[in-house]
Amino acid sequence: MQVIEAVKIWLEYHKTNSREKTLRTYRTILLRFRDEFGERDLESLTSEEILSFLGRVTDGAKPQTKRIRYSQLSALFNFIRNNLDQDIRNPCNTLMMKKLFRNRPPVRWNTIEKDTVDEIIFKTTN
């Protein structure tokens, strides 16, 4: 299956099953993906090509945006594999790419009780 066909099917699926904003965000990345790899077969795409494409598309973007774009491309390949062609592999599904685009846990700040802060302030002022 060619990339252009896969993107068309995926966007049609989202037109009927998703909100307009979701469809708009998928269009952002998938139309660029289609423009670059449109005539190629999905099976011929390599992880290196996907990584290079994501690097160009998300250059200067925040880490969360990079993760979202990676997830959107990965979802396309998973959709095709699960619904149309079970023999296709997901080039986004490599250990390197998973680590590169993994979701980082939020930084947790240590909190200090108000009484402790008041105590320290009282001791330093007296």
Domain ranges across the chain: 3-125
Please name the fold of domain 3-125. Answer: DNA polymerase; domain 1 (1.10.150)
pTM (2 d.p.): 0.76
From 58, 72, 59, 66, select the one nearest 26 (Cα to Cα).
72
Q: Which two tokens stand for residue 101?
A: 């685009």
Question: Tell me, what amino acid is at 14?
Answer: H
What is the rounded CA–CA span in Å between residue 54 and residue 38? 16
Distance of CA 13 to the CA centre of its chain: 19
What is the rounded CA–CA span in Å between residue 126 and residue 86? 74
Dump pLDDT digits (tens) for 21-77. 988 989 989 999 999 998 888 888 999 999 999 999 988 888 888 999 999 999 999
